[in-house]
Amino acid sequence: MSVSRIYRLLRLITMLQTGRTYTADELARQLEVSRRTIFRDLNMLEMAHIPYYFDQEKGGYQISGHFFLPPVNLTVSEALAILMLTHRIKGAASRLPLLAESSRAAMKLENVLPQAIRRHVGSMIKKLSVSFGPVSRHEGVDDMFNELVGAIVRRRICRLVYLSFQLRRQLIVSVRPLRLVFLGRAWYLIAYAVKPRDIRTFKLGRIRKLTVTDRTFQQPTDVDLDEYFGDAWSMIPEGRRYDVHLHFEPKVAGNVAEVQWHHSQRVEWNDDGSIEFYVHVDGLGEITWWVLGYGDQVEIISPAAFRTRVANVAAAVLKKYRKGRK
């Protein structure tokens, strides 16, 4: 390919990404070539997968504004952070939706870094790694994730075939998708279910089939998605709030105190190294299993209903192990 044609193609790309539209005649005049040459050049852009298109309303050509992004000046630390979080994530978390795309973006970033900085960042990355806790399997949900993002933005009603562990069967439900959120181990869809009329949470890994319809919906004004989970210990509010007081023994007190488990928690240290742990939580279901995980190193001081609940579970566990296996 001649230098003059390369120069003309670069000028053509620059013109088409300015945001205004150009007719074939306007392009030909600006570039001082024939219409036939313009169409050959446009065909070259198509072969290079540069997404130009013809705007029917404006009657001209332009390049999608999402294809080329403006340059960003990153510091070495910022570049290191992005590359580390995409290249060095290990385990099942590396297969989460969005992380595949972030890895490709990181490769593009790495390719445009100056060679000296690339070597410096590369040597540092080899000495770093990121490991999430256990996460749910997300194989095969990337396309579904992207479809749901589009449905949320365009406010399209969706039909789900959903596997309910609680009901032990598949459900077919129409929903108005509102938000995608990653909580703990998995991606979830927050949506307004048409029947029953209620806000529900759907785990992406349990959606067996997604159909995005052409029907649209109005964004609800009476739902605050930022406060949707409220004071729930994790993600399941039960509609009743409790002031919980726990006593943790010195052996685990430090581990408990150094983590922000809940936005309302308050910790008081005792002289012997134990702690008093206070939290205002909606529902006891989720926090019950967390407390049981600390075994005899924690005691529920209040409320009494919580003590009884955990005592009953502990008694059932003891009974099971006393029977032994046949």
198 vs 223: CA distance, rounded Å = 11
Q: Is the dihedral of CA 120, 126, 127, 131 positive or negative?
A: positive
The reply to whether omega before 97 is within 30° of 0 (cis) is no
Q: What is the 3-state secondary structure (H, E, C) of 142-207?
A: HHHHHHHHHHHHHCEEEEEEEEECCCCEEEEEEEEEEEEEEECCEEEEEEEECCCCEEEEEEHHHE
199 against 306, higher pLDDT: 306
297 vs 286: CA distance, rounded Å = 18
What is the per-residue pLDDT across 170-198, written as a single tens digit (0 to 9) for each?
989 999 999 998 887 888 999 988 776 77
Helix (H) / strand (E) containing 44: helix 35-47
Local confidence band at 50 (pLDDT 50, 70, 90 cut-offs)? confident
Helix (H) / strand (E) containing 285: helix 285-292
DSSP assignment letter at 89: E
What is the per-residue pLDDT across 80-135, written as a single tens digit (0 to 9) for each?
777 776 766 655 555 677 766 676 677 767 766 767 777 777 777 777 777 767 77
Compute the average pLDDT of residues 216-239.
81
| Rounded (10°) CA dihedral 170, 175, 179, 181 | -10
Compute the average pLDDT of residues 201-219.
91
**What's the length of the chain?**
326
Compute the average pLDDT of residues 44-61.
82
285 vs 270: CA distance, rounded Å = 28
